[in-house]
Amino acid sequence: MPTPVVVARRRCHTAGVTGSSFHVLVKPTGAICNLDCAYCFFLEKEHLYPGSTFRMDDAVIEAYLRQVIDAEASDRVVVSWQGGEPTLAPKDFYRRAAAIAADLLPPGKRIEWTMQTNGTRLDDEWCDLFLEHGYLIGLSLDGPREVHDVHRVDKRGEPTFDRVMEAAALLRRRGVEFNVLTTVNAANGDRGREVYRFLRDEVGTRYVQFIPIVERVGPDGRTGMQVGTEVTDRSVTGEQWGRFLIEVFDEWAAHDVGEVFVMLFDWTLASWMGLDNPACIFRPTCGDAVALEHNGDLYSCDHFVEPEYLLGNLMETPLGELVASDRQREFGERKQTSLPQYCLDCEVRFACNGECPKNRFVLTPDGEEGLNYLCAGYKAFFTHVDAPMRAMAGLLREGRPASDVMAMPGGFA
């Protein structure tokens, strides 16, 4: 069976893109960050650990690496550092982690290191470290200056666009593999084609991941927790999300299939090919993408780092046991069992599966709870791409490259 367009080893840096038995987002500095991005859902999590130094110590690193290597059934162990901002941990932290892993790795297993960073602290020495260990870097960049700087500011409220573009240039110059993670929010949501062209032509990235900002406001007015049915005005709307994806898709399908890799399109193609979807959000169930805090606490998902979803601490219970626990299994199965009838009857459910439970807080047209806030966008997008996805899936099944779709009579743009 040919693989989808995506190169299998490319990984995304948000919750739940697997290819391994399970996926852990590791937070060596907890929620601590040097920036103050307006929409960040994680900065709030600092309050879960009052008085903490927010540093993962060697005992936790060792326990985590030992347990993840033991528990991973495949020969490929992925270690994903995230934050907060993981470059706030000293470079020596990552050197020690690599040394510990080298001692623990049995023959035939290998580690793939990844890091999601805002890029503002990168320098040549970081690049040396990345190159030495074969890191794949995820760089956060929301598009051209005027949209990036709307929300991505530092602690003094200063814009960060120039620093992130310097980081992209540095990574390119040093030959460090990187992809770009772009959030889609109210500020860039109507500029899909322009954002995509900017990333492709001016940043020069060939790997892009878009994630929608859906920021709920709790009853106490706070954001960052999965409560409340109101969203901030920074959030993208469902319709806007659909239009954004369609604009990007049309540009990509006309010019860039096989050259630029937009992860959401690869995941979509996996659905049209009848393959297991690599992304948790589009699978019927989830629960195999967990988040590890600096002190060893393990949570059900990066989007549910909340006391109610604390599975335990890996210094007390092994990671594999926590991931396989009844509690976590129920968490993952609820994705499927909580779908409203409207989704069960939906023509594109095979691709969408109600997307992520964190976004399911609106009513269906007939008043049932639990519809995804982004539903209108997903329906529009999946319907729009049906013909080209069928065509690409057909090409791949014949052993031809999906990029042949661009030469088909009439094209698909």
Give least dist CB 3 to ligand SF4, A: 22
C-beta atoms surrounding 69 within 10 Å: 16
Active site residue 302: yes
Handedness of CA 229, 356, 320, 84 (dihedral sign): negative
- The reply on whether position 56 binds ligand SF4 by CB under 6 A is no
Name residues contacting ligand SF4, limited to 209-238 (CB under 6 A).
none
Choose between 24 and 343: whose C-beta lies nearer to ligand SF4: 343
Choose between 16 and 388: whose C-beta lies nearer to ligand SF4: 16
What is the greatest pairwise CA distance in the chain?
64
Strand partners, 81: 26, 115
**Contact assessment for residue 32 and residue 85, using Cβ atoms and an 8 Å cutoff:** yes
Binding ligand SF4 by CB under 6 A: which of 356, 392, 396, 402? Answer: 356
Which amino acid does the sequence have at 369?
A: E
Give least dist CB 287 to ligand SF4, A: 6
- The reply on whether position 148 binds ligand SF4 by CB under 6 A is no
- The reply on whether position 303 binds ligand SF4 by CB under 6 A is yes
Length of the chain in terms of residues written: 413
Choose between 28 and 354: whose C-beta lies nearer to ligand SF4: 354
Give least dist CB 132 to ligand SF4, A: 31
And the tokens for 201? 């032509």
Give least dist CB 135 to ligand SF4, A: 23
Using DSSP bridges, classify how beta strands 230-231 and 216-217 pair: parallel, antiparallel or unpaired. antiparallel
**Tokens 């109507």 correspond to what residue?**
190
Give least dist CB 253 to ligand SF4, A: 20
Binding mask 369-398 for ligand SF4 (x = CB under 6 A): ---x--x--xx-------------------
Which amino acid does the sequence have at 290?
A: V
Q: Among the residues of 72-114, which ranges form H helices?
A: 91-104
- The reply on whether position 352 binds ligand SF4 by CB under 6 A is yes
Binding ligand SF4 by CB under 6 A: which of 40, 346, 393, 406? Answer: 346
Give least dist CB 26 to ligand SF4, A: 15
Give least dist CB 90 to ligand SF4, A: 30
Ramachandran angles phi, psi of 261, nearest 5° = -115, 110
Choose between 78 and 343: whose C-beta lies nearer to ligand SF4: 343
d(CA 126, CA 170): 10
**Contact assessment for residue 395 and residue 404, using Cβ atoms and an 8 Å cutoff:** yes
Name residues contacting ligand SF4, limited to 261-300 (CB under 6 A).
280-281, 286, 289
Q: Among the residues of 210-317, which ranges form H helices?
A: 238-255, 263-272
Binding ligand SF4 by CB under 6 A: which of 261, 272, 342, 361? Answer: 342
**Contact assessment for residue 85 and residue 34, using Cβ atoms and an 8 Å cutoff:** yes
**What is the size of the binding site for ligand SF4 (CB under 6 A)?**
24
**Catalytic residue (choose from 142, 250, 302, 326):** 302
**Tokens 């049932």 correspond to what residue?**
368
Instruction: Identify which range of 110-118, 212-220, 254-262, 353-361 contacts ligand SF4 by CB under 6 A.
Output: 353-361
Binding ligand SF4 by CB under 6 A: which of 5, 6, 12, 15? Answer: 15
- The reply on whether position 354 binds ligand SF4 by CB under 6 A is yes
Q: Which of 208, 167, 172 is nearest to 10 (CA)?
A: 208
Write 265-268 long-range contacts (CB < 8 A, 24+): 265/5, 265/385, 266/4, 266/5, 266/6, 268/351, 268/382, 268/385, 268/389
Instruction: Identify which range of 53-61, 136-144, 202-210, 341-349 contacts ligand SF4 by CB under 6 A.
Output: 341-349
d(CA 68, CA 60): 12
Active-site amino acid positions: 302
Q: Which residues bind ligand SF4 (CB under 6 A)?
A: 15-16, 280-281, 286, 289, 301, 303, 335, 342-343, 346, 348-349, 352, 354-358, 372, 375, 378-379
